[in-house]
Structure 1
């Protein structure tokens, strides 16, 4: 009998949406449901080389500002490393993978926020060849509220310091893509953490059996 392939679940959202606490919750739920912990990843990053690329993207260098196109290409370089060396091997061995961001982030941030959608789609097609998560939970929040939450955690990184209209364009793109794809579930992240977590639990109770049935 051939080994059953694992499933790839991703959490997405703007800064301050509560991804970190949501990931911890989802990790626990998946672990209880399938009897083992998922492989957890983050983007950009997730491999030694991809983490070095993450630093290039996240840390501002005033002497050599990162241009938008380079940002996009670096993120896809990191993503390609992660998919090839972590995600696909884990899925092939029957493990589930829980990702903190994936390609939807590039479509929203670099495609919508930066206005580079043609480049993003071209690089995405070239790098991913149709590979995508089985399920994405998008934590939706107004950028003003999200950024105020993010600022309360400490110093903002290069991405978090972008103008508010950048995040408004990214949010608009997230919602448009979610509307077009049944595998993307929208969660209202403006609620209290307890309510957001309750909504996540309800969605996973509904969706996990369907994912298992696909195997």
Structure 2
């Protein structure tokens, strides 16, 4: 079985995951066939579809070969998340395959656990702009403990913090009692890890999310009010 994973919560990324059937927990039978991720946090719509097309061509696959699509549902900015989720929904409809969501921060937490997570747990954080972070707290095995949230950096727990958001606000986090892992100071959620998270959960019989985006903020766009009278 081949899963197409997509995430645009921070950067645009996609990956093809091969899973042996039946699926098993811990993604033991899953492997990343191919993946791409940009460094730009503002060009999701321009690069995502061509990137997916290139991945399929590289592996000599077509839409008919994809058994399931999983997409990161955030948290993240409106424009970025819309690009990824809209693309995933369109492809799932066109290819007539199941579509599921995974919280994007879970992908970053997967990477932390794979590298050896602290015994007392940790947080992962990405930039939410406006001097805030999107973050969540996890146990050492990657189980979600709290979140996701969008807050000022000083409001994160006093735990080791991972991710590009932690690297961006290192001094504020350290002043508040947290520590920043240097190896993950520029890390963003990636579709390859998102796909492995999905494979592990499907293998364990755990439910995935729907594709409702986790914006965590109200939209800046407002419905215009009535025109003011000139007289």
Report the TM-score when normalising by structure 2.
0.32
Decide which structure has greater strand share: 2
Instruction: Give the structure with higher Rg (CA).
Output: 2
Q: Which structure is richer in relative contact order (CA contacts within 8 A, separation 6 or more)?
A: 1
Q: Which has the larger share of helix? A: 1
TM-score, with normalisation over the residues of structure 1? 0.34
